[in-house]
Structure formats: structure tokens, C-alpha cells
Amino acid sequence: MTDLSSSSELLDGPGEPRQGAMDTDEQLIELVRALYPYKPYCLVKDWTIFKVDVTEDELNKIHTAGHLPLILFARDVRFDSERRFDVGDFVRSTMSISFEDGFLFETRNSVYVLIGDGHEKTASLSTIMSIF
């Protein structure tokens, strides 16, 4: 299997369906500003949360660093408070530090607000990093 076909399969293949926020963009912006007043945020659609498949030792190192073994990929940026991304861009996050209410995905530098339908999939870190 080529890298391109494995990348496509990872992104487009089956995953566990997940539901993000269903509120309006304006309501979500108000919420994220209230909960994370000093942190940049990004509203995204068409998203996948990757659970990084790690060993017990690797998991302990990830937790020791203050992270969760989760990485977000979204195909559709709706709004970015810092204008790092244009509307319609894709984005891949770093590992999360928290994941609240099924739609607030926080990293050290940003909060991603997951809107609408998404998926959860499991893959190795090297596989996840190789497709972006």
C-alpha cells in the first residue's frame, strides 16, 4: 500500500461517529471566550480525533508531559480568532491537554471547538504525522 492510499484510508475510512457542538458559531464563540478568555480558539467542522496508539510506557510519558494521547484533524476551519488559518483551511493540532464536553479540544496553544458530526479513530503517532 502506498503512503497516499494509506493516508486516504486513514482519513476517509470508517471511524467511531462522534457529535460535536450544534450551536451557532456566535454562541460557540461567546462560550469559548467565557471559558478560555486568554487563549486563541478555532471553530472547525468535518473533524477527526485520532487516539494515538501507544505503549503503557509511552502513555506514561505523554501524561507526565501533561498531555492526552489525542490529536485533532479538521478539514474545514470555520473561524480562527488569531487568523492563523483562513476559512476552509484544514488544521492538525498538537496533542491535547484537555477534551471537555465532547467538543472543546484544548492544546497548549489553542482551543478547537468541534462543530457537527465527526469521528474518532486510532492510529500510531508516526502514521498520523506522516499524512499531514
State the pLDDT at residue 127: 84
State the pLDDT at residue 14: 72
State the pLDDT at residue 95: 96
103, 1 in Cβ contact below 8 A? no
Domain containing residue 27: 3-130
120, 15 in Cβ contact below 8 A? yes
Alpha-carbon span 67 to 61, nearest angstrom: 9
Backbone angles phi, psi at 116, to 5 degrees: 70, -155
Below-70 pLDDT ranges, the chain: 1-13, 131-132
State the pLDDT at residue 126: 84
State the pLDDT at residue 72: 96
Backbone angles phi, psi at 130, to 5 degrees: -75, -20
Model pTM? 0.90
State the pLDDT at residue 8: 60
State the pLDDT at residue 132: 60
Query: Cell 464536553 sits at which residue?
Result: 101
State the pLDDT at residue 1: 36
